[in-house]
Amino acid sequence: MKEKAELEERAKGRLTTRTVAMPGDTNPSGDIFGGWVVSQMDIAAGICAGQRAQSRVVTVALDGMSFIRPVKVGDILGVYTRVESVGRTSMNILVEAWVRRGRIGQREKVTEGMFKFVAIDETGRSTPIPKEEDLPDYVLHGFDE
Ligand SMILES: CC(C)(COP(=O)(O)OP(=O)(O)OC[C@H]1O[C@@H](n2cnc3c(N)ncnc32)[C@H](O)[C@@H]1OP(=O)(O)O)[C@@H](O)C(=O)NCCC(=O)NCCS
């Protein structure tokens, strides 16, 4: 018989951030406010994009945001990120947010979307993204995380 973990759907990408949804993050109906979830996804995507670009980055577009299930107070929210494509100065980062219900319960995907970031220099102008072979190992292989 397969272990329970093997039967669970797998997230795409690398686990980039984890946090707990708190009562202060709720909307008037008591579920977690969608803007809070998007903010957590933007933070994680920014970490991923900043490491790929090895520079400051800014969000320029969000595509295909899909709120699949609500997030509840006490859920652990884990955000997974993956670089989907790289342009001259821009990158598309696939982002999935998953919860562990009430810290120890069922694991479910709650939100997904594609975040576009642009690498910028110290003056705020777009700047080229380095080639993959010029990146430090931790960016590609996730040592020390
Ligand atoms: C990101 C920014 C510096 C780009 O400036 P720009 O003058 O458009 O720069 P460029 O014309 O050189 O374009 C840079 C890249 O971004 C892409 N891009 C710029 N605006 C985009 C948009 N709205 N949607 C999708 N892609 C966009 C371009 O296609 C280009 O990609 P490539 O180099 O991979 O081919 C500028 O738009 C900016 O500062 N935006 C605000 C970002 C921000 O504050 N985000 C936080 C929101 S709270």
Classify each residue of 60-75 as buried b or exposed e, where b means 16 or more C-beta atoms within 10 Å of its C-beta: eeeeeeeeeebbbebb
Residue minimizing CA distance to atom 29 of ligand 1: 90
The structural domains of the chain, ordered by start, are 4-132 (3.10.129.10)
pLDDT-derived band at 144 (thresholds 50, 70, 90) equals: low
pLDDT at 145: 58
Residue minimizing CA distance to atom 46 of ligand 1: 59
The mean of the pLDDT values for the chain is: 93
CA of 97 to the centre of ligand 1 (A): 25
* Per-residue model confidence as pLDDT tens digits over 51-65: 999 999 999 999 999
Q: Ligand 1 atom closest to Cα of 120?
A: 3
Mean pLDDT of 122-140: 94
Residue 33, H or E segment: none
Residue 137, H or E segment: helix 137-141
Side-chain half-sphere exposure of 9, counting CA atoms within 13 A: 12
Using the structure block, give the residue that is written with the tokens 């995507």.
45
